[in-house]
Amino acid sequence: MPFSEAGKNTMLDALTADLVQLHSGDPGAAGTSNALGSKVASTFAAASGGARALSAQVDFTGLTASQSVTHFSVWKNDTADVFEGSGQITTGDTAANSAGEFSLTTDTELTINDS
């Protein structure tokens, strides 16, 4: 039985993710596969509609020009980085630009797949 929207919102709001990292493929169960560059500070808005979106655009630099970007991972950093989850990029750009830059927009959301 799937979780209710309210249940998903509660679970997503409990995440304390404050870092995001890009990936060129599925990050895997530990969030470390296919990693691109460093983790970058981020903030997420309150969950709504069973999803939790970035509250501001997150910009990445230092990537390889035209590098494929298909996934992102989210992390909590208190005394050590703790993997919180990942998602697939399904809208917008899917590659770094010619200067090696990429931005995750506020359309980037965390969701709970319970199907």
For the segment 54-68, the average pLDDT, to the nearest whole number, is 96
**Digit-coded pLDDT (tens) for 96-111:** 999 999 999 999 999 9
d(CA 115, CA 45): 24
Comparing CA positions, the residue from 23, 31, 35 lying closest to residue 95 is: 23
pLDDT the model gives residue 39: 95
The string of pLDDT tens digits covering residues 35-52 is: 999 999 999 999 999 999
Model pTM score: 0.90
